[in-house]
């Protein structure tokens, strides 16, 4: 002890050049090179800004729609344009605004809230942002070329299949969705690994801020929900481009399959949007009440419970499709059950407000109160719609439009504005205006209720959604006029917000406005580009409230990692349950290949959508080269001896094995891959259930059994060879050379390709074609899916061999090999399950 002060990890005074080296390592690039910035603060701000831009663009489309519907028989828009406008409004709001916005805030806030220097894969965040931003702009621009999709934001086939939606319009929707799939999965990898492994020492799971919990649940939900969307969009694109009949009833397909896949993503997606917003609320309410959140453990329970139960609700969007009554009742019950955890959160926020001695009734508080009012109403109409007979009456009417806006706008946009006002002092040299903010809230709150409350009535009076106009005298005229007036009020509120932003937002990664709310969590510690000067030891959920002098000690350099001991960007990796320091992660810095890879990816998708195949191929190859170039430096190896971070703790600078952050990321990728595969398996069995006449009646029409047996043996052997290479790699440097490993990888690759070839040829020689019927389409989907992984492993094994040839692979520095091996074993397992489904199942039910 030093007098009455607690003993902290690092003593004062600190070496003179320590801070300078830290600042230099984290300095953002200047000039044109600024585009290569990867720091989470900058990328987070870019990301939030881009998402907000799409909110504005989709909002403008909403105003166009409301103008069209203001009076009956309006001719402002023709039906075709109206279809494009409402489809783009819904698609952009859901896919290019809501999901990216919550993910962007996570990228922006999580590291600082956990006192990490950055998320573990900063270049991945940058790649996800640039691909999303450029691709999103292309998607929006399709509106000006009469190329925008027009099948509704859920794009139900058969309307959106090749027969009824010829041209490229629907493909542009698939382009837009492709970008959100890329950025969401990249974000999920970042967030899962970031939340679990980069928390400040001492921030065990029971002390983790609720926002971190929400983002963890969010990311896990993305991992299991987005694959259904990826599978669905892949099937729809295959049907549109190559006439593989998954959804064409005449060829054994079923449009309801799309609805299952879409809503298995779509319903959890509502919670994917809502939970992070709820997490923001759970951070803002305690700060405004100056009291710890009431019921922390119950809220975490609610988050996890919601995350699970929300996957049991997808059919409640499909009550009118003719499913068995009992099946629908399961989803009705799950819809009721999910209201329990949602209710827990609402009561906890109200209780925290009630516990306040003196509530800070500022703009963030107003938006939270508005959120509570609107979201509760949306929840109540949600319970109404979960009841099957009521849903049958209200289905596809404006009642549903009202409900979904009360839930999504109420549950996400109000908290987002609260978050803008609350966290702005952490990003800007001055906070947003309290005076203008009250106008923003008032206009949006009144405008919102004026717009959407009447829609409950227009819906109950029978007005269907998605109609471009209506006849006068049906009782809808005044209600629609009121809704339109309300929409313009919302627009006015957003315009005042833009004025406020222009007047007061001045981005600052240091010298920000500071902790103006007297909040208790770590993002309010003094900041720089490197986040906090030192990484504190956390002893409670509100460390700033409970640990006196924390901000001063952190800034003075008295906690962990006061400098940049390796001279590069670093953060501490801690254990997932107890947050005990494990190793020091050296992170990559700014990089042109990352940005160029993102641009090339966007161009690739655009060219592919327009069926310009040669430019698409050029862009695709360029993107792959850039990705490989970017990855080349990300496995630096043990180039530095263990470093002292303070408090007598010496951390290794490089590790491999189960606790390596890259291994965790690869597991996330595999979970995504396995879920996509599970969706294909579901599709196979679903189509067999509804149209088994497409399946071969006689197993003799299937490939003879020696083809699958050969494929199975080759798959198993290839895994065994890779396992041998892994063991051999351990001995490199101790008498074992590199060539056995390189040759083993090449041999294993040839076995894998052989297995793929046997399976493909087996089906091809029977005369089965993908365009024939749904059975053929599913079989070749499995084969194409396996082919995708074989191709990926071709690149990964060549990359691994190239690293070996360059001396960048050895017994210690083996992350590249380990990740390749992990995906290899997964691919083999996936291949074996495919063989069982495709060859065993039809013979079993013969």
Partner 1 sequence: MNPAAVSFTPLTLRMLSGALIWASHFGVIYLFTALACARGFSAMNWHGIGVVPWVIGAATLAAVSSVAVITLRSIRYIRNHTAPENALRFMLWMTASIGGLSLVAIVWQAVPVLLIPVCG
Neighbours of 73 (CB within 10 A): 8
Cβ proximity to partner 1, 310 vs 781, nearer residue: 310
Q: Contact with partner 1 (CB under 8 A): which of 63, 71, 159, 323?
A: 323
Cβ proximity to partner 1, 790 vs 815, nearer residue: 815
Task: Determine if 624 is a binding residue for partner 1 (CB under 8 A).
Answer: no
Task: Determine if 341 is a binding residue for partner 1 (CB under 8 A).
Answer: yes
| Of 86-94, 154-162, 292-300, 501-509: span binding partner 1 (CB under 8 A) | 292-300
Q: Contact with partner 1 (CB under 8 A): which of 204, 504, 509, 766?
A: 204
Cα–Cα distances in Å, from 645 out to 114, 211, 525? Answer: 17, 27, 19
Distance CA 561, CA 7 (A): 16
Task: Determine if 321 is a binding residue for partner 1 (CB under 8 A).
Answer: no
What lies within 8 Å, CB to CB, of 767 at 6+ separation is none
Task: Determine if 301 is a binding residue for partner 1 (CB under 8 A).
Answer: yes
Cβ proximity to partner 1, 330 vs 347, nearer residue: 330
| Of 459-467, 500-508, 515-523, 651-659: span binding partner 1 (CB under 8 A) | 651-659
Contact 168, 609 (CB under 8 A): yes
Applying the rule CB under 8 A, the residues between 206 and 245 that interact with partner 1 are 206-207
Task: Determine if 577 is a binding residue for partner 1 (CB under 8 A).
Answer: yes
Structure tokens at 481: 């006029």
Alpha helices in 203-254 (DSSP H): 210-242
Contact 490, 444 (CB under 8 A): yes
| Of 163-171, 285-293, 323-331, 614-622: span binding partner 1 (CB under 8 A) | 323-331
Task: Determine if 253 is a binding residue for partner 1 (CB under 8 A).
Answer: no
Distance CA 538, CA 572 (A): 14
Q: Contact with partner 1 (CB under 8 A): which of 21, 53, 137, 205?
A: 205
Task: Determine if 582 is a binding residue for partner 1 (CB under 8 A).
Answer: yes
Contact 679, 223 (CB under 8 A): no
Distance CA 735, CA 732 (A): 7
Q: Contact with partner 1 (CB under 8 A): which of 35, 56, 333, 474?
A: 333
| Of 10-18, 98-106, 119-127, 308-316: span binding partner 1 (CB under 8 A) | 308-316
Q: Minimum distance from CB of 5 to partner 1 (Å)? A: 25
Task: Determine if 540 is a binding residue for partner 1 (CB under 8 A).
Answer: no
Q: Contact with partner 1 (CB under 8 A): which of 33, 241, 321, 329?
A: 329
Task: Determine if 841 is a binding residue for partner 1 (CB under 8 A).
Answer: no
Number of residues that bind partner 1 (CB under 8 A): 40
Q: Contact with partner 1 (CB under 8 A): which of 4, 75, 471, 689?
A: 689
CB neighbour burial string for 268-299, b if at least 16 within 10 angstroms, e if fewer: bbbbbbbbbbbbbbbbbbbbbbbbbbbbbebb
Question: Pairing state of beta strands 643-646 and 581-587?
Answer: unpaired
Task: Determine if 528 is a binding residue for partner 1 (CB under 8 A).
Answer: no
Q: Contact with partner 1 (CB under 8 A): which of 255, 312, 464, 699?
A: 312
Task: Determine if 648 is a binding residue for partner 1 (CB under 8 A).
Answer: no
Task: Determine if 659 is a binding residue for partner 1 (CB under 8 A).
Answer: yes
Task: Determine if 383 is a binding residue for partner 1 (CB under 8 A).
Answer: no
Structure tokens at 179: 């970008």
Distance CA 559, CA 441 (A): 41
Q: State the binding string over 407-446 for partner 1 (x if CB under 8 A, else -).
A: ----------------------------------------
Structure tokens at 687: 């189509």
Task: Determine if 690 is a binding residue for partner 1 (CB under 8 A).
Answer: yes
Task: Determine if 576 is a binding residue for partner 1 (CB under 8 A).
Answer: yes
Distance CA 809, CA 801 (A): 9
Contact 651, 643 (CB under 8 A): yes
Task: Determine if 332 is a binding residue for partner 1 (CB under 8 A).
Answer: yes
Task: Determine if 20 is a binding residue for partner 1 (CB under 8 A).
Answer: no
Q: Minimum distance from CB of 581 to partner 1 (Å)? A: 9
Say what the alpha-carbon torsion angle 76, 79, 85, 89 is, to the nearest 10 degrees.
110
Backbone angles phi, psi at 732, to 5 degrees: -60, 130
Q: Minimum distance from CB of 717 to partner 1 (Å)? A: 29
CB neighbour burial string for 464-494, b if at least 16 within 10 angstroms, e if fewer: ebeebbbeeeeebbebbbbbbebbbbbbebb
| Of 37-45, 319-327, 443-451, 720-728: span binding partner 1 (CB under 8 A) | 319-327
Task: Determine if 807 is a binding residue for partner 1 (CB under 8 A).
Answer: no
Distance CA 695, CA 698 (A): 9
Q: Minimum distance from CB of 330 to partner 1 (Å)? A: 5
Task: Determine if 99 is a binding residue for partner 1 (CB under 8 A).
Answer: no
Q: Contact with partner 1 (CB under 8 A): which of 154, 156, 308, 764?
A: 308
Contact 554, 525 (CB under 8 A): yes
Q: Minimum distance from CB of 702 to partner 1 (Å)? A: 21
Q: Contact with partner 1 (CB under 8 A): which of 326, 472, 502, 806?
A: 326
Distance CA 723, CA 728 (A): 9
Cβ proximity to partner 1, 134 vs 293, nearer residue: 293
Cβ proximity to partner 1, 109 vs 582, nearer residue: 582
Q: Minimum distance from CB of 690 to partner 1 (Å)? A: 7
Task: Determine if 822 is a binding residue for partner 1 (CB under 8 A).
Answer: no
Structure tokens at 203: 């921030």
Residue with tokens 């907000």: 52
Cα–Cα distances in Å, from 506 out to 356, 424, 428, 438? Answer: 32, 9, 5, 20
Distance CA 472, CA 454 (A): 17
Task: Determine if 794 is a binding residue for partner 1 (CB under 8 A).
Answer: no
CB neighbour burial string for 215-252, b if at least 16 within 10 angstroms, e if fewer: bbbbbbbbbbbbbbbbbbbbbbbbbbeeebbbbbeebb
Q: Minimum distance from CB of 329 to partner 1 (Å)? A: 4
Q: Minimum distance from CB of 322 to partner 1 (Å)? A: 10
Q: Minimum distance from CB of 693 to partner 1 (Å)? A: 13
Distance CA 72, CA 516 (A): 50
Task: Determine if 325 is a binding residue for partner 1 (CB under 8 A).
Answer: yes
Task: Determine if 509 is a binding residue for partner 1 (CB under 8 A).
Answer: no
Euclidean distance between the first and the last CA atom of the chain, given in angstroms as a whole number: 79
Burial label, 684 (beta-carbon count in 10 A; 0-12, 13-18, 19+) = buried
Task: Determine if 658 is a binding residue for partner 1 (CB under 8 A).
Answer: yes
Q: Minimum distance from CB of 142 to partner 1 (Å)? A: 38
Cβ proximity to partner 1, 322 vs 767, nearer residue: 322
Instruction: Count the alpha carbons within 13 Å of 408 in the hemisphere toward its beta carbon.
Output: 23
Task: Determine if 320 is a binding residue for partner 1 (CB under 8 A).
Answer: no
Alpha helices in 461-586 (DSSP H): 477-504, 543-546, 550-556
Q: Minimum distance from CB of 580 to partner 1 (Å)? A: 6
Q: Contact with partner 1 (CB under 8 A): which of 7, 297, 389, 614?
A: 297
Residues near partner 1 (CB under 8 A): 196, 204-207, 297-298, 300-301, 304-305, 308-309, 311-312, 323-327, 329-330, 332-334, 336-337, 340-341, 575-578, 580, 582, 657-659, 689-690
């Amino acid at each position: 002890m030093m007098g009455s002060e607690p003993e902290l990890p690092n003593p004062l005074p600190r070496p003179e050049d320590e801070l300078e080296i830290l600042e230099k390592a984290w300095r953002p690039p200047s000039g044109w090179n600024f585009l290569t910035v990867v720091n989470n603060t900058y990328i987070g701000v870019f990301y939030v800004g881009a998402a907000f831009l799409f909110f504005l663009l989709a909002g403008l489309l909403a105003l166009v729609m409301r103008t069209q519907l203001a009076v009956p028989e309006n001719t402002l828009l023709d039906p075709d344009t109206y279809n494009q406008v409402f489809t783009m409004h819904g698609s952009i709001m859901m896919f290019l605004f809501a999901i990216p916005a919550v993910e962007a805030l996570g990228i922006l806030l999580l590291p600082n809230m956990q006192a990490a220097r950055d998320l573990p894969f900063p270049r991945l965040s940058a790649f996800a942002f640039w691909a999303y931003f450029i691709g999103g702009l292309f998607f929006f621009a399709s509106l000006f070329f009469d190329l925008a999709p027009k099948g509704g934001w859920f794009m139900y086939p058969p309307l959106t299949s090749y027969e009824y939606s010829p041209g490229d319009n629907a493909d542009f929707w698939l382009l837009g969705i492709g970008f959100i799939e890329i950025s969401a999965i990249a974000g999920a990898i970042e967030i899962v690994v970031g939340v679990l492994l980069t928390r400040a020492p001492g921030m065990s799971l029971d002390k983790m801020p609720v926002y971190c919990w929400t983002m963890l649940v969010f990311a896990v939900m993305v991992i299991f929900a987005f694959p259904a969307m990826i599978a669905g969009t892949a099937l729809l694109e295959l049907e549109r481009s190559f006439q593989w009949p998954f959804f064409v009833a005449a060829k054994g397909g079923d449009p309801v399959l799309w609805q299952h896949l879409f809503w298995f993503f779509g319903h959890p997606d509502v919670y994917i949007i809502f939970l992070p917003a709820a997490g923001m609320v759970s951070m803002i309410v305690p700060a405004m009440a100056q009291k710890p959140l009431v019921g922390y453990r119950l809220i975490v329970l609610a988050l996890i419970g919601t995350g699970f139960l929300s996957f049991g609700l997808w059919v409640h969007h499909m009550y009118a499709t003719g499913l068995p009554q009992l099946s629908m009742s399961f989803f009705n019950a799950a819809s009721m059950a999910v209201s329990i955890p949602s209710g827990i959160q609402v009561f906890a926020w109200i209780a925290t407000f009630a516990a306040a001695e003196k509530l800070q009734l500022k703009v963030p508080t107003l938006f939270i109160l508005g959120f509570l009012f609107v979201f509760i109403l949306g929840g109540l109409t949600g319970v109404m719609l979960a009841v099957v007979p009521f849903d049958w009456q209200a289905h596809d009417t404006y009642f549903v439009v009202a409900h979904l806006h009360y839930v999504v706008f109420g549950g996400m946009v109000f908290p987002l504005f609260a978050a803008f006002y609350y966290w702005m002092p952490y990003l800007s040299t001055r906070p947003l205006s309290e005076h203008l903010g009250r106008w923003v809230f008032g206009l949006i709150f009144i405008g919102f209720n004026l717009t959407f409350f009447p829609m409950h009535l227009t819906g109950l009076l029978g007005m269907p959604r998605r109609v471009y106009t209506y006849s006068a005298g049906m009782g809808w005229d005044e209600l629609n006029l009121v809704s339109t007036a309300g929409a313009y009020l919302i627009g006015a509120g957003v315009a005042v917000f833009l004025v406020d932003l222009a007047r007061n937002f001045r981005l600052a990664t240091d010298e920000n406005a500071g902790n103006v709310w007297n909040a208790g969590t770590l993002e309010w510690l003094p900041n720089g580009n490197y986040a906090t000067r030192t990484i504190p030891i956390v002893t409670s959920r509100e460390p700033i409230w409970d640990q006196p002098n924390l901000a001063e000690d952190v800034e003075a350099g008295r906690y962990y990692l006061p400098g940049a001991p390796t001279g590069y960007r670093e953060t501490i990796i801690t254990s997932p349950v107890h947050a005990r320091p494990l190793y020091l992660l050296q992170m990559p810095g700014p990089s042109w290949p990352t940005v160029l890879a993102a641009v090339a990816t966007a161009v690739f998708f655009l060219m592919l959508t327009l069926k310009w195949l040669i430019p698409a191929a050029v862009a695709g190859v360029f993107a792959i080269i850039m990705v490989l170039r970017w990855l080349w430096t990300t496995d630096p190896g043990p180039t530095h001896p263990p470093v002292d971070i303070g408090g007598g703790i010496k951390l290794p600078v490089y590790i491999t094995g189960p606790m390596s952050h890259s291994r965790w990321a690869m597991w996330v990728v595999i979970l995504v891959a396995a879920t996509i595969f599970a969706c294909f398996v579901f599709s196979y069995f679903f189509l067999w259930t509804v149209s088994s006449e497409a399946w071969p009646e006689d197993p003799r029409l299937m490939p003879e059994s020696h083809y699958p047996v050969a494929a199975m043996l080759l798959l198993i052997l290839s895994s065994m060879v890779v396992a041998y290479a892994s063991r051999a790699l351990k001995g490199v440097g101790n008498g074992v050379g590199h060539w056995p490993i390189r040759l083993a990888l090449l041999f294993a690759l040839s076995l894998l390709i052989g297995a793929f070839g046997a399976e493909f040829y087996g089906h091809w020689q029977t005369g089965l074609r993908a365009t024939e019927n749904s059975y053929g389409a599913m079989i070749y989907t499995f084969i194409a899916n396996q082919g995708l992984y074989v191709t990926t492993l071709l690149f990964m094994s060549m990359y691994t061999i190239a690293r070996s040839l360059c001396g960048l692979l050895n017994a210690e520095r083996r992350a590249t090999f380990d990740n390749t091996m992990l995906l290899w074993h997964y691919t083999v397992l996936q291949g074996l399950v495919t063989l069982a489904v495709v060859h065993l199942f039809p013979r079993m039910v013969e």
